[in-house]
Every structure is written in structure tokens, then in C-alpha cells.
Chain A
């Protein structure tokens, strides 16, 4: 157990020592808060000028969760980089010399990714929400409005699971390029488009990000289903990653 703990502490040190992973985490915070402020500010303008461009289903509460939906891209990049950094250089050999048990290294890496994502997602989610409300001014809602605490908690869990999904996919692909090429477009536009087209709408509902988004939808009746679906995706990705990591030979 203490060896696993040492491995996890080492992964934490490694994460901070690699510039790219730290930058990704900072970017997640910056993008989330910036979009949250921008969204609130432009919504305020739209409300006050009676602009018809404002979405019909607009609520100040839900708008407070828009920032992290963009910020999550950086968090996915973070998850991918946590794993792929081992493959892009000869790092995996060094890591396995230090921690030769494959399972211990994989566990340490996923655990550190989860803890780091959780630790950053929690304040960023809360701050983003508050920043949006602040920007909305008189039209803003409160922190304890109906369904908001649950949606915020759901958002934090969602973000953490998405970063773990990224770790699993990167481990399975043993690179950064393929996971990023699949995950980023999927989250950014893919499932959005697919969920609008009638034929693919039913399928897109079961995509990890679409399903997971129910968790951060205020007053969603499908939050639990969304959690279970995203959990299944994450577990599948981490299992695939583990099988590939275990069979690493070199």
C-alpha cells in the first residue's frame, strides 16, 4: 500500500513538473471563467434590449454552467496528456523502472488525474456559476436556487469522469493525437450535431458527453441515467486502457 502511495505522490510531482499538463489545468480554469463571464454579460444585454436572439429556454441558473462546457475541452486535453506523455518520449521505460508493477503505475496515474481534476473542477465550477450570475446583474440567480447545488455537484462529477475517460482512451491509443482527434470534435460539435439530426438523435443521447450533460442540467429528470451511462463509458475506456497498458512490452 505504501508503495502505491509513493507511486501516486510521484505521479503528482510528475504532473506538476510537466509543463503541458499544468498549462491544460490552468487553461481549463481560465476558459471556463472567461466564457461564464462573457455568457452572463451578453445575456444581460440581450434581456435588457429584448433581443429575440436569446434562447427561449434561457435560465440564469443553466447559463451559469455554460462556461465549464467549453472549459472541459482543456480538461480532456489534461487527461490525455497525463497518459500520453509516457508514450511520446521514452518516459514509460523510466516510469516502469521506478514502479515496475503495471497495475500500480496505472492506478497511481488514474487516481492522480481524478484527484487533480476534481480539485480543480470544484472551485472552477462554483466560481464560473457565480461569475455568470454576477455578470447577469439584476437578472442573475443565486447559488442556492432550486436544483442548482445538485447541478453543480453533477458538473464536478461529470468533469472528473470526462478527464478519466480521456486517460483511458489515451492509454488504449498509446498516443495523444488519436484521442484528441476523436474526443475534442465529439465534445465540441459532434454529439451536438448528431443530437439535432432526427436519425441520430436517439443514438447521440447515449454518447458520454450528451448523457453526462444531464448531470449538470438544472432540474433534469435523467441526471441519474446520465451518470450511469457516463460511468459505463469511463469504466470501459479505463479497462481498455488498462489492458493495453498491461500488455506494454518494450
Chain B
């Protein structure tokens, strides 16, 4: 799946700005960005719903609207796509199946897969948010597609549903399928994605693996607890720490020195150390830091 120089403007606002990325098969690719970063618009351009002002989006070399029976190639879940409220879950999936000549038995299979068999004949209008999301996922899985494009799929799912979805996405990727999943929740991404596409204000900030992303942009620091924080901070700053901060619980967060070095400096200065540990910033912090840097790609 390929986005090449996608640009979309709504009036004076450029929602997606010269965005290019590649989504490879066999891994889960996380599409990350704060709300309003242009994720949904980009996905809709990939799926032929929104016309880009310039640039192209292709899936397996073809534009979405040129795919023959597209549901068999791409399964998509969009935040803003909802079935007609007066339809039953079965009714909705049945017409979808017919539109792409998908065997009828798949309707029952996907309903079972998402745990909606019991609600199959209920009107969609009576569904909870979570059930609606499961139905959307059922629709995405209907054509057993080699490509999945899911916009904020965890929205409305309970803890068990989220775990189930995570396993599903990993399993699909392990089968060699292409999985693109967006989220504004970085912690969620860290648990499911292998690769990351990070955007902010419509522009690409990073396209890399999760571990590399954290390694490159993440903050590694050493936590120190001591009864003499002031003296410790002075000593450490004098001996090469790039920054020493006081955490809320009174401990120190030391940047720029490895744990062993911190320990030696403290011992040499006669400062007692009660606790010493190394921390790697979470994806959440890493992401927020990157976006805070102004969303300027030169920072990457």
C-alpha cells in the first residue's frame, strides 16, 4: 500500500500535506498522530472516498476504485461509516456480501468471529458503541481481504475486545497480510504495531519500526532516590549530566549519564543512594515530545 505525495486542502486548511508512506505486508503498521493530524483523511484517500488535491494512493499498484470487488482485496473500518440504523446486522452484512459476490456463509462466519452471533437479528440502531465497532470489524473481515485498513478500531471496545483485536491484528499480519491501523493512543500502538507511520498536522514525522522510534526519539534517564537531592544534583551536573530534574515524588531524573556512572559520582561525593534505576520513555512520551517539537520534520 503506497501513498505518494498526498495533499488535501479544505478551504484554507491543508489537512494532508505532501504525505508519502509505504505499508508493507506481514507486519502491523501503526498510523499515529494526535486528533486532527490528518489520519482519517489520509485513510479515506487510500480508500478512494476522498479525492486528493494532488498525489496518488495505490493498493497493490492499483487505485482503490479500480479494484474488482474491492471488499475481497481491502477490508476497511472508518470512524464515520455506519450502517443504516434500520438494518439488522445480518441484513447489513448480507448486502455487502452480495455487492462483492462473497459467499453467504461468510456473513455467519464473521458475525461469529466478532462475537455478534447473538445480536445478528437486532437493528443496528439499538447497538452500543462497542457492538457497532464489532459490526464494522465484521464488515472489514467479510471478504477475507489480504489488506486491512482500520481507523481507530479500539474505540468503544472493552478491555477484552481490545485484547481480542490485538491478537486478531497480529494473527492477520503473521499470515502475511497488510495491516494499517490508526490511533491517537500511543500506548495502544506500542502493544500492537511493528512499524510506525507518525504524522502531525498532515505531515510525515517518522516512518520507522516501533523499537527504532523509541530508541531514536525516546528519552532514557536514570532515576535516583537520595536523602540529599540538592547536593546530588549539583555533583551530577558538574560531572556531565545534561539535565537533572526533580520528579513529583522527590526522586531525581538524570539525563546524559549511564546508571553506573551516576552511582560512581554519588559514591565519590559521599551522597547516599537509596534507589537507582534506568528508564526508557514510553511511546506515549516519545510521541508527545516529537509533536511538541513543533511537528517539524527537521527534528526527526
Question: Residues of A with Cβ closer than 8 Å to B?
Answer: 2-3, 6-7, 9-11, 13-14, 16-20, 85, 88-91, 93-94, 96-101, 249-250
Contact = CB atoms under 8 A, between A and B. Distances in A.
7 contacts: A13-B91, A17-B94, A89-B84, A93-B78, A96-B48, A101-B65, A250-B80
Contacts of B48: 96, 100
A14 B99 CA distance: 10
A97 B82 CA distance: 12
B70 A17 contact: no
A191 B271 CA distance: 96
7 shortest interchain CB distances as A-B pairs: A17-B91, A10-B99, A93-B81, A100-B65, A90-B82, A13-B95, A10-B98
Q: Which one of B50, B83, B94 has the greatest number of beta carbons of chain A within 10 Å?
A: B83
A244 B71 CA distance: 25
A14 B84 CA distance: 9
A6 B101 CA distance: 7
Contacts of A98: 70-71, 96, 99-100
Nearest to B124: A89
Interface string B42-69: 0010011111000000000000110111
A249 B96 contact: no
Contacts of A3: 68-69
B76 interface: yes
Interface of B is mostly: loop
For B44, B92, B98, B123, the residue with the greatest tally of chain A CB atoms inside 10 Å of its CB is: B98
Nearest to B91: A17
Interface residues of B, number: 35
Contacts, number: 94
B74 to A, nearest CB: 8
Contacts of B71: 97-98
A216 B235 CA distance: 100
A100 B67 contact: yes
A172 B48 CA distance: 21
Contact of B49 (A89, A91, A101, A250): A250
Nearest to B85: A89
B241 to A, nearest CB: 52
Contact of A90 (B51, B80, B86, B101): B80
Nearest to B92: A17
A85 B85 CA distance: 9
B88 interface: yes
Nearest to B136: A94
Contact of A11 (B49, B67, B95): B95
A11 B84 CA distance: 13
Nearest to B48: A100
B188 to A, nearest CB: 23
Contacts of A88: 84
B181 interface: no
A240 to B, nearest CB: 20
Nearest to A16: B91
Interface in B138-155: 139
A10 to B, nearest CB: 3
Contacts of A20: 86
